[in-house]
Amino acid sequence: MEKIPVLDLKKQIEPIRSEIDAAIKKVIDNANFILGKEVSEFEDDVVAYCRVKAAVGVCNGTDAIKLALVALGIKAGDGVICPAFTYFATAGAIAAMGAIPVFADIDPLTYNISLASIEKALKNSKVGIKAIIPVHLYGQCADMDGISNIAKKNNLKVIEDNAQAFGAEYKGEKSGSIGDCGTVSLFPGKNLGAFGDAGMVLTNDQEVESKLKILRNQGNKDKYYHLVLGYNNRLDTLQAAILKVKLKYLDGWNKKRQANADYYNRNFKSLGLKIPFVPEGNMHIYHQYTLRVDGTSAKLMDHLNSKGIDARVYYPVPLHLQECFKYLGYKPGDFPESEKASLEVLSIPVYPDLTQEQLDYIVNSVKEYFKK
C-alpha cells in the first residue's frame, strides 16, 4: 500500500481542474487582481451558503480574528477568553492586537471550550474581559447556546473561530453565523481551501461589516483618505475565483468525510479507544477524525506511521504551556483536560478522496494495533 497522506489535494483538484483553470484565466484576462469582482461574488456566495448578512473576504484565518477583534471594539489590555486546546493562531491573534488571552479548559468529550471553565475565568480574571472566542475544533461547533447566554449576562462579544468548521451546523444554523463575528480560514488544507492563504469574516451586523471592509483595506474610506489605522488584509481576486468554484463542491466533500467517519465509527466501536463524540444538534464536518487513547496515543501513532499512514496529534502542547505565552503566568495543571487531551488524541486521514481500499487498510492497521 502506498503511503496515505493526511490530505491529498492533487486528487481533490483533478476532477475540477478545467473549471478552476478557466476561473484563473478569467482573472488574468481581466487583470483586476486586487478586490476584483470575484471577491464580492465569492462573498455573496458565502452569504447565501452561511445564511448570514455579510461575509468579508480577508487574507487568512488569523487576520480574520484580528480584524474581528478590532471591528468589535476590543482594545489593547482587554481580556479575551479562548480555549487552551486549539491552534496557536486563536490566542496569537488576541495577543498580536495587544489584548490578553485568558485561557479556559475544554470539555473532554467534544474538545471544545467548557462553559464551567469560562465561568471560572470570568470570576478569577485580573483583567477586564470583553470577549470570548470559542473554537469549533476538528469540525464541530462548541456549545453556542451556553456561550451566548454567558456572553449576554456578562456583556461580552463572541467571535466564533470557525477556521476548522466551515460548513458545519449547530441546531440548524451554519457555524460562524451565530456570534457577533465568525472567522474562517481558507488555508489549502481546510475543508474549503484556497491555493494559498485566504480567509473570511462573517457577521450579521452591517456596521461591523463596513468596519471590516475599511480595516482590511488600509483604513481607506475612499482611496487615499484613511479613516482609521487599517491593514493590508484583503482577499486576493485569484483566490476568490478559485474558492468560488470549490464552494459548490464543499457539501459533497463534507458528506464523504462524514461517510468515512461513520465507517471508522462502526469499525472502532469495540476497540480500546474513544471515537468522536457528537452532541445532539451538531452537524460535524470532520475536518479531523480524532481518536482518543487512554494514557497516550503515541504508540498508536508510531504504529500507524510505520504502516505509512499519516496520523497526527492536533495539538501536542496546550497553549498555556507554550513558550511564547509564558508571560501570561500559567503553569502545568491549570487546564487538566487540555493537558490530558494533548497526550491522548490522534487524528487519522478522513479526507473525501480516500478509497475503500485505503479506508480498510487504515481500519485494519488500527485493529492490528489493539490485537497486539
- Interface residue list for ligand PLP (CB under 6 A): 60-62, 86-87, 89-90, 135, 161, 163-164, 185, 187, 197, 199
Crossing angle for the helix pair 237-268 and 37-50, nearest 10 degrees? 30
Identity of residue 161? D
- Rank residues 188 and 273 by Cβ distance to ligand PLP and give the closer one: 188
- Rank residues 268 and 276 by Cβ distance to ligand PLP and give the closer one: 276
Read off φ and ψ for residue 364, nearest 5 degrees.
-65, -35
* Whole-number Å distance between alpha carbons of 22 and 5: 28
- The least CB distance from residue 287 to ligand PLP, in Å, is 8
How many angstroms separate the Cα of 257 from the Cα of each of 17, 49, 252, 287, 351? 21, 19, 9, 8, 6
- Rank residues 114 and 185 by Cβ distance to ligand PLP and give the closer one: 185
- The least CB distance from residue 190 to ligand PLP, in Å, is 7
- Rank residues 163 and 214 by Cβ distance to ligand PLP and give the closer one: 163
- The least CB distance from residue 347 to ligand PLP, in Å, is 12
Task: Please identify the residue of the shown chain whose CB is closest to the bound ligand PLP.
Answer: 61
* Whole-number Å distance between alpha carbons of 73 and 131: 10
E strand spans, 59-203: 79-83, 100-104, 129-132, 157-161, 169-170, 173-174, 181-185, 199-203
- Rank residues 138 and 369 by Cβ distance to ligand PLP and give the closer one: 138
Cell of 337: 483536560
- The least CB distance from residue 173 to ligand PLP, in Å, is 19
- The least CB distance from residue 227 to ligand PLP, in Å, is 25
